[in-house]
Chains A and B, each alone.
Chain A
Amino acid sequence: MRVNLTVNGRPQEADDVWEGESLLYVLRERMGLPGSKNACEQGECGSCTVRLDCVPVCSCLVAAGQAEGREVVTVEGLAEYARQRAEGGATGARGATGVRGGESASLDAARRWQARGTDSQTGENIELAPVQQAFIEAGAVQCGFCTPGLLVAADELLEHHPDPTDEDIREALSGNLCRCTGYEKIMDAVRLAAARRSEGAGA
């Protein structure tokens, strides 16, 4: 079958999709977007988390056909999604609910995350979402396999809940397994992203 969907703001189509294929498989193997990871393929680890019409889902548990006509944001599109949200245009954030205060005020904050370097091969000149920058700086990335899913989940948390308590962070990220870090630096990263955001919002 053919599947049409919007991924990271771009219309995409995939042909010859077998009915049993997951959204994760189509993203990874048919659309050249392997950022979403395949760690358990049964919805236990969260490594494949993407936004499907703004809702975080395990893309391994979504049949590709279910994504027909819908909007998907993956880790590859997270920086652009965050940028648009910060600018308030937020086509990518269509339908988002929850606390939205301070969105436009965080534009300055978003600008501050911009590239502070030109190290091309490590991508240091790439504009990152605040939560991506925070994960690097806080040491929340080791092997990095869980990172894409965690970033999508953490970004969604902060979108709705700009000033989460530790318990809120733990609850929001409880569907994402990490085997390397012991989670403490992931906590640090989300706290850092939240603190910068509120700092930016208050500025």
Chain B
Amino acid sequence: MTANGAPTGLTQGSTTRGGIGESTLRPDGVLKVTGEFAYASDMWHEDMLWGQILRSTVAHAEIVSIDTSEALATAGVYAVMTYDDLPTDVRHYGLEIRDTPVLAHGKVRHHGEPVAIVAADHPETARRAAAKIRVEYRELPLVTDEASATAPDAVLVHEHRTDHHSGHVPHPNIVHRQPIVRGDADAAAGRADVIVEGDYCFGMQDQAFLGPESGLAVPGEDGGVDLYIATQWLHSDLRQIAPVLGLPEDKVRMTLSGVGGAFGGREDLSMQIHACLLALRTGKPVKIVYNRFESFFGHVHRHPARLHYEHGATRDGRLTHVKCRIVLDGGAYASASPAVVGNAASLSVGPYVCEDVDIEALALYSNNPPCGAMRGFGAVQACFAYEAQMDKVAAELGLDPVEFRRINAMEQGTLMPTGQRVDSPAPVAELLRRVKAMPMPPERQWESSEGADVRQLPGGLSNTTHGEGVVRGVGYAVGIKNVGFSEGFDDYSTARVRLEVAGGRPVVTVHTAMAEVGQGGVTVHAQIARTELGVAEVTIRPADTQVGSAGSTSASRQTYVTGGAVRNACELVREKVLEIGRRRLGPYHPAWATAELLLEGGKVVTDGGEVLADLVDVLEDEVVEVEEEWRHRPTEPFDPRTGQGNGHVQYSFAAHRAVVEVDTELGLVKVIELACAQDVGKALNPLSVVGQIQGGTVQGLGIAVMEEIVVDPVTAKVRNPSFTDYLLPTILDTPALPVDVLELADDHAPYGLRGVGEAPTLSSTPAVLAAIRDATGLALDRTPVRPEHLTGTAADQDPPGGARNVTPSAPPGALTKSHTARGT
């Protein structure tokens, strides 16, 4: 009995054409529109049990006792496990620092931490049994912000750190700290005609992928386990799972099941180990599916941040220096915090020329929810602040904000604050020019022949205005994001490509472990194979651990790196095919030896276009298969004191123009249009590229005006873990999204492509904020902006002690004061 819903290969080609550069349709599209595509939560197995996780109800506490007896005695319950039931001494996991307990041991460090797991024959039985587990907690003082983390008597979130960052951080409650010092910012400040300081506050965003964490673990007859799972990186999961189970990696057979979005939230493990543990304990297949409430606790979030910036400029509009300090709250476990710090620091100045910088970025350990990877990864928080600063400086200088950016825009050859030279196109000024040149949406666009269409006004169908008190604003922003894993990480991918004759025609099979999370990697892999091998019919095999690692579907890297690996493997296959051809057919035509040979249309052709042979005749029954790793250029770590180093592989750039209309009486914002211009190097699939840009843009819109996980500053508990209380942009909140795609090749990258997915999430948020500032004249130094920030009522609504974990909009400087006064 195999698992129901296990993925099969995706074959396209008998009717689908399309090499790179074409908008080939998704090979999984039909399955997805007919409901046939099996997501991890759709997996089913005969005799399957359901797993449930019991999570901590408090943020920081000693566990005095756990009593599972009543849960175990419940009819239908097959197993209850706690820390004491773990099979080996490896009881922690983590992406970089293995600080996360599989199940809590003696202590919980954040609200919602897994404490015990249950397997039962019905999900409701499992839920009710979990609720019968009695856990006695003795609460501990909380670390909730920088002040409480680094106070002289601060409670340590992790008491005995031995990780490789612990030696260089100034305090054990700091996960990692990265300074970047270049030039002499203090001396440069002396040359400035204007100096602008600002304090900014960035709320905690959730990835809110729609398919909750889920998977199915099936125990094997060999003592191993088969895990069908929605993840971003199978092999990273495998390295963390196998030691906890006490199994060799080849006995943990992982297959990617359908993934309902990711956005960074599936980089860390969620229910993987728990499902495997229960399956191995009970000898039965175990499925775990989080509901939305649990999903909010089941993955890391985007780091909330406090940022202090100082920018200086001369009267003619040139930046003299930038100083900044970025404090990210990493929450209870490290997750990707060290890498997020590296990104925030190295990208903190934005896409601008500035020789003299003094930068510090750090991530705290706290008892807030753990934070880690989310689309934009450290660059998003920085971009929100530096773009607000650029507007402020422009205003001080009396310059147009786009013109001020243009004057300072970096270009190919510019040195980053890290000293790295940007050695591919950096069309920052051009992107701004393009986005500004797009036609503006008409004024009073809500007016129709029948009066105001309230659906196009702030407040929408709430019918709160027919245009009275509505003010328009326009804002611009531009950002810079790195592509690929950085700081010396061995960032590679593996592809296995096979070419053979089947059914009388040549067919290609591509096998990688790349996690298709919706981005369209499977589409692009087939396009690459068609382009390189000239074969229409391509099968994409399910991603699993039977092939080498593809690295993570993160950091805008998969088309670059796994796409590069597929191309590389195809090239090797082509060479082998041509070798076979030369051996078999070379004697019959001199061009086999003398001409440059290509594979096109199922044939071997010369570069002059002469057909030498059909692939079918070249191959006959021979199967050509290659599996090969592929790497991009190596990177270097940043120097721990100066931050200097060629830390990044590639940079990507996007610019936005936001047009908003604000009902200034009620503080309601409607984004009317959010236009984007982005350089993608080469659009391998233009339809998918535009989809990525629009999707990323709207996630940035969400940060600007809607989305925030609210953590109670007194209890460190999450207050809004649902789609009722955590507001995601709906189709009504989302405007027209015109996109202008620029293609300036990066000669270092496959086909000249540039990673696409993240850059649009950066500049979207500050563009919307700039537009709201333009409409209202308010300073607005935090995000998301809520109605109370626009109506001057925010301070009154925030009682002492704080109703939320972030300080509302206030004049620059006030943030620090209220932060200190809170003294949590």
- In the complex, residue of chain B having the shortest beta-carbon distance to the beta carbon of A166: B736
Categorize the interface residue count of chain A: 35 or more
- Nearest CB of chain A from residue B328's CB, rounded to whole Å: 23
Q: Which of A36, A74, A135, A143 contacts B211 (CB 8 A)?
A: A143
Taking a contact as CB atoms closer than 8 A, the residue among B695, B730, B731 that contacts A180 in the complex is: B695
Instruction: Check B260–A143 contact: CB distance below 8 A.
Output: yes
Residue B212 CB within 8 A of the other chain: yes
Complex Cα spacing A108 to B131, Å: 57
Binding stretch for chain A, among B35-43, B376-384, B609-617, B642-650? B35-43
Decide yes or no whether A124 CB sits under 8 A from chain B: yes
Residue B594 interfacial (CB < 8 Å): no
Residues of A contacting B122 with CB < 8 Å?
18
Please state if A33 and B734 are interface contacts (CB–CB under 8 Å). Answer: no
If A117-B15, A174-B730 touch, whether A139 touches B261 (CB-CB below 8 Å) is no
Residue in contact with B723 in the complex, picked from A34, A42, A128, A133, CB distance below 8 Å: A42
Given A174-B730, A180-B261, CB of A41 within 8 Å of CB of B33: no
Given A37-B260, A179-B209, A184-B736, are A121 and B11 also a contact pair (CB < 8 Å)?
yes
Q: Which of B10, B691, B723 contacts A44 (CB 8 A)?
A: B723
Whose C-beta in chain B lies nearest to the C-beta of A20?
Answer: B124
B261, B699, B732: which contacts A145 (Cβ < 8 A)?
Answer: B261
Contacts of A39 in B (CB 8 A): 210-212, 260, 292
Of residues 1 to 39 in A, which have CB atoms within 8 Å of B's CB atoms?
A: 18, 20-21, 28-29, 32-39
In the bound complex, residues from chain B placing their C-beta under 8 Å from that of A171 are 455, 461, 732
Q: A45-B210, A179-B210 are in contact. Are A119 and B14 (CB under 8 A)?
A: yes
CB <8 Å contact, A139 and B687: yes
**A177 engages B210 (CB within 8 Å):** yes
Q: Say whether B212 contacts A42, CB under 8 Å.
A: no
The chain A residue sitting closest to B207, CB to CB, is A179
CB distance from A30 to the nearest CB of B (A): 11
Mask, A132-167, CB within 8 Å of B = 1, is 110111010111111110010000000000000001
In whole Å, how far is B543's beta carbon from the nearest beta carbon of chain A? 15
Q: A28-B42, A34-B5, A184-B736 are in contact. Are A76 and B30 (CB under 8 A)?
A: no
Query: Of A136, A173, A181, which is within 8 A of B695 by CB?
Result: A181
Q: Which residues of B contact A179 (CB under 8 A)?
A: 207-210, 261, 263, 695, 699, 728
Complex: A184 Cα to B520 Cα, angstroms:
17
The residues of B that contact A132 with a CB separation of less than 8 Å are 33-34
Give the contacting residue for A122; candidates B10, B35, B737; CB below 8 A: B10
Give the Cβ gap from A103 to chain B, nearest Cβ, in Å.
22
Q: Is the CB of A33 within 8 A of B209?
A: no
Cα distance, A28 to B43, chains bound together (Å): 10
Question: Which residue from A122, A124, A142, A184 sits with its C-beta under 8 Å from B518?
Answer: A142
- Chain B residue, CB-CB nearest to A173: B731
Supposing A37-B210, A42-B723, A44-B722 touch, asked if A136 and B26 sit within 8 A by C-beta, the answer is: yes
A123-B15 in contact given A44-B722, A45-B210 (Cβ < 8 Å): no
Contact B15 A116 (CB under 8 A): yes
Chain B's nearest CB lies how many Å from the CB of A45? Answer: 6
Contacting B14 at CB < 8 Å: which of A118, A133, A136, A180? A118
Q: Is the CB of A139 within 8 A of B690?
A: yes
Asked if residues A118 and B539 are in contact (CB atoms below 8 Å), the reply is no
Answer whether A135 and B15 are a contact pair too, CB < 8 Å, given A47-B210, A121-B9, A143-B517. Answer: no
The residue that A137 contacts in the complex, of B25, B35, B259, B736, with Cβ under 8 A, is B25
Using Cβ atoms and an 8 Å threshold, which residues of chain A touch B517?
Answer: 143
Alpha-carbon distance A78/B11, docked complex (angstroms): 24
Please tell me if the beta carbons of B14 and A117 are within 8 angstroms of each other in the complex. Answer: yes
Residues of A within 8 A of B212 (CB): 38-39
**A124/B211 contact (C-beta < 8 A), A142-B519, A177-B723 known:** no
Q: Does B2 count as interface, using CB distance less than 8 angstroms?
A: no
| Chain B residues, Cβ within 8 Å of A34 | 5, 35, 38-39, 41-42, 44
Once the chains bind, are A118 and B15 in contact (CB under 8 Å)?
yes
Which of the residues A136, A142, A151 comes within 8 Å of B691, measured between beta carbons?
A: A142
Q: Is the CB of A143 within 8 A of B259?
A: yes
Residue of B nearest to A131 (CB): B33
Q: Which of B26, B27, B33, B261 has the most CB of A within 10 A?
A: B33
A35:B35 contact, CB within 8 angstroms:
yes
Contacts A34-B5, A122-B31, A145-B211; is A184 near B694 (CB within 8 Å)? yes
For A178, the chain B residues whose CB sits under 8 A away are 210, 731
Q: B9, B212, B691 — which one has the most chain A CB atoms within 10 A of its CB?
A: B691
Contacts of B729 in A (CB 8 A): 183
- Which B residues touch A40, using CB under 8 A? 291-292, 722-723
| Interface flag for A75 (CB, 8 Å) | yes
- Chain B residue with the shortest CB-CB distance to A35: B35
Q: Does B453 contact A (CB under 8 A)?
A: yes
- Residue on B with the closest CB to A148? B35
* Most chain B CB inside 10 Å of its own CB: which residue of A34, A120, A122: A122
The 8 Å CB contact of A144, one of B10, B32, B262, B734, is B32
Q: Does B678 belong to the interface (CB within 8 Å)?
A: no
Q: Is A182 an interface residue (CB 8 A)?
A: yes
- Nearest residue in A to B125 (C-beta to C-beta)? A18
Q: Is B441 an interface residue (CB 8 A)?
A: no
Q: Which among A141, A170, A175, A176 has the greatest number of chain B C-beta atoms within 10 A? A: A141
CB of A181 within 8 A of CB of B124, answer: no
Residues of A near B456 (CB, < 8 A) are 167
Residues of A within 8 A of B797 (CB): none
B13 interfacial contact with A, CB 8 Å: yes
The CA of A61 and the CA of B359, in the complex, are separated in Å by 51
Q: Closest CB-CB distance, A140 to chain B, in whole Å? A: 8
Confirm or deny: A57 has a beta carbon within 8 angstroms of a beta carbon on chain B: no
Distance, CA A135 to CA B31, complexed state (A) = 12
A177 to B728, CA, bound (A): 8
> A residues 60-81 with Cβ under 8 Å of B?
74-76, 78-79
**Interface flag for B824 (CB, 8 Å):** no
- A123 to B33 alpha-carbon distance, docked (Å): 10
Distance in angstroms from B682 CB to nearest chain A CB is 18
A131–chain B nearest beta-carbon distance, Å: 8
Question: Is A185 at the interface (CB under 8 A from chain B)?
Answer: yes
When distances are taken between beta carbons in the complex, the residues of chain A under 8 Å from B39 are 34, 37, 145
Bound together, the chains give a CA A75 to CA B690 distance in angstroms of: 26
Whose C-beta in chain A lies nearest to the C-beta of B519?
Answer: A142
Contact of A181 among B5, B37, B461, B694 (CB under 8 A): B694
For residue B469, give the distance in angstroms from its CB to the closest CB of chain A: 21
**New contact pairs (12) apart from A75-B33, A181-B698, CB-CB < 8 Å:** A34-B35, A40-B291, A42-B722, A121-B9, A121-B539, A124-B12, A128-B33, A135-B29, A142-B695, A175-B730, A184-B737, A185-B691
24 chain-A/chain-B pairs, Cβ below 8 angstroms: A37-B41, A38-B212, A79-B34, A117-B15, A117-B16, A121-B11, A122-B31, A124-B16, A126-B34, A141-B26, A142-B261, A142-B519, A143-B261, A145-B39, A146-B210, A147-B33, A148-B35, A170-B731, A174-B730, A181-B691, A181-B694, A182-B697, A182-B734, A187-B731
9 shortest interchain CB distances as A-B pairs: A35-B35, A143-B518, A117-B15, A145-B260, A144-B32, A182-B698, A44-B723, A182-B694, A34-B42
